[in-house]
Amino acid sequence: MNSRLLQTLLALSLLLNTFVLVGFVYRSWIEPPFGMYPPPPPRGGPGQPGQPGGPRFNPVEMVVRDLGLDGEQRQRMKDLFDRYANERRERLQEIQRVREQTGVELGRTPMDMSRVDGLIDQVSRLRAEQQKETLRTLLELQPSLRPDQRERLQDLLVDRVAPPPPPPRPPAGGPPRPPQ
């Protein structure tokens, strides 16, 4: 082989290797592999319900959205929704006041643990009352629902109020791993 042909082959090899390295760098460092990161959030401006920066739905509103109530059903239940929202707002404000009192008590020296215990119990009681009120409100929806919506409500209540227990964990040693 003459030296000119050898130099041409070496130049082509160098060019091919350069393209492979550039592709590797681009794929691994510049553009992440497909499916590596979650898709971007859905478009919609802040301030819209359910979007970042927008109002958050309360538990009853979330169930109502999942049930797919029509306009007439929503209108019939408007008083129930308004009453629930007002009671929830008042109870959450009361919880916030008690939490602030707890913060004040925790900042005192020496800390009165019996007072802190009482405030924690009060917050727990208020949260339990809120959960019971949510459940009562959801049950008050039933007479205004269609049969398919009632079934869906029952499923939602089971899933959200009393979810099934997690699957049992394998014993400490566990079963042997299958061959791969």
Asked if residue 154 belongs to a domain, the reply is: yes
Q: Which two tokens stand for residue 53?
A: 């920066």
- State which amino acid sits at residue 145: L
Q: How many CB atoms lie within 10 A of CB 54?
A: 13
Instruction: Give percent of the chain with pLDDT exceeding 70.
Output: 76
Q: Is residue 70 part of a domain?
A: yes
- Whether residue 117 lies inside any domain: the answer is yes
* Cα–Cα distance for residue pair 96/93, rounded to 1 Å: 5
Describe the crossing of helices 113-141 and 147-161 by its angle, rounded to 10 degrees: 160
**Residue 84: CB partners within 8 Å, gap ≥ 6?**
58, 60, 133, 134, 137
pLDDT for the residue numbered 68: 87
In a domain, 42, yes or no: no
pLDDT bucket at 127, cuts 50 / 70 / 90: very high
Residues 73/140, Cβ–Cβ less than 8 Å:
no
Q: Is residue 6 included in any domain, yes or no?
A: no
Q: Which carries the bigger pLDDT value, residue 78 or residue 30?
A: 78
Q: pLDDT category, 40, cuts 50, 70, 90?
A: low
Taking only the tens place, the pLDDT of each residue in 143-173 is: 888 899 899 988 888 887 776 777 777 666 6
Q: Which domain holds residue 79?
A: 59-160
Q: Is residue 180 part of a domain?
A: no
* DSSP codes of every residue in 2-56: -HHHHHHHHHHHHHHHHHHHHHHHIIIIISPPTTSSPPPPPP--TTSTTSTTSPP
CATH classification at residue 139: 1.20.120.1490
Total structural domains within the chain:
1
Is position 20 within any domain? no
